[in-house]
Amino acid sequence: MVDINTVGRTFNIQRYSIADGPGIRTTIFVKGCPLSCKWCSNPESQSKERQIAYRNTQCKACGKCVAACPKQCMTLDEDGIHIDRTVCDVCGTCVKKCLPGALSFSGKDMTAQEAFKVVMRDKDYYEKDGGCTCSGGEILMQPDFVAAIFAQCRENGIHTNADTCGCGSEEAMRKILEYSDMVFFDLKHMDSAEHKRMTGVGNEQILKNLDICMHSDAQVVIRVPLIKGFNDTDENITAMCETLKKIGGQTPIISVLPYHNYGENKYRMIDEVYELTDMEPPSQETKDHVKELIESLGFECRVE
């Protein structure tokens, strides 16, 4: 049973996406994630709270926001604006004062019905295999909202894809799966201690939810962010494939996502520090090797 009036918090809705599942899709990104992956390209997605985002490329250094802030928690220096986020109450006074648009809100609340109306705007473009993807952040943190969007999609013949890191309750996973045609399931590392070192959380609960997905009616695609020196070893890739075979249920496609640093500038937007500044993308040789290894272990592999 779903309630289309369930309110969720999003940080983006992307229309005409071709990277979040088959065909042309509308992707709803929900805000809040239990993981804090060091390579995350959407750092603004991690906090469930609404935040003020700052783009220093658009800032004219006029200081009007600093003067207007009722909490006096903004400063301006040669690097632009800084916000003391322990004091900021996200009142939005600074956003209104900033005519060049350097300041904005990250986080918008809406009902599942409102989100679905956005999805419906592009129904004519979905054709037979496009549809709606819910991503994050982490969808398992807002299962009622996501399930209510997907239920409306189902009623209207729109394909649904649940993009998850798998970290959430089994009840939340089942709730979303009930209305999911496809699942993009992230697997980052098979060793829980290593997983925790780079994401802040062990992988035990993730593997429980993986089991549930693999034995569901939804088509599972395993997504592996390939991070040099973290999860690109033969040992880890082999352990991942062996785990998938042991779980059984279906033989998923494994989609490898080579590390990139496109999100690095977003850390400055929310006054956070990107730790992987020296990280390089995996070489072509590594990508080819990982693909060959996965295929030799019996899985179809795509390197995105």
Shortest gap between Cβ of 268 and ligand SF4 (angstroms)?
A: 13
Helix (H) / strand (E) element for 68: namely: helix 64-68
Whichever of 103 and 214 has its CB closer to ligand SF4, that residue is: 103
Helix, coil or strand: residue 116: helix
Size of the site for ligand SF4 (CB under 6 A): 27
Q: Determine the Cα–Cα distance for residues 92 and 28; give it in Å rounded to an integer.
A: 23
**Cβ neighbour number for residue 135 with a 10 Å cutoff:** 24
E-only strand ranges, 51-102:
51-54, 74-77, 80-83
Residues 253-292, one symbol each (x = binds ligand SF4 by CB under 6 A, - = not), give: ----------------------------------------
Give, as ranges, the residues between 96 and 115 that touch ligand SF4 (CB under 6 A): 97-98, 100, 102-103
Shortest reach from residue 13's CB to ligand SF4, in Å: 23
* By the rule CB under 6 A, 302 interacts with ligand SF4: no
CA–CA separation, 254 and 252 (whole Å) = 6
Give 69 or 279: the residue with its C-beta nearer to ligand SF4. Answer: 69
Report residue 268: phi and psi, to 5°.
Answer: -60, -30
Of 13-21, 80-88, 216-224, 246-254, the segment contacting ligand SF4 by CB under 6 A is: 80-88
Six-digit token string for 63: 């200081």
Cα 167 off chain centre by: 12
Please give the residue ranges that form the binding site for ligand SF4 (CB under 6 A). 52, 59-65, 69, 71, 73-74, 76, 81, 83, 88-94, 97-98, 100, 102-103
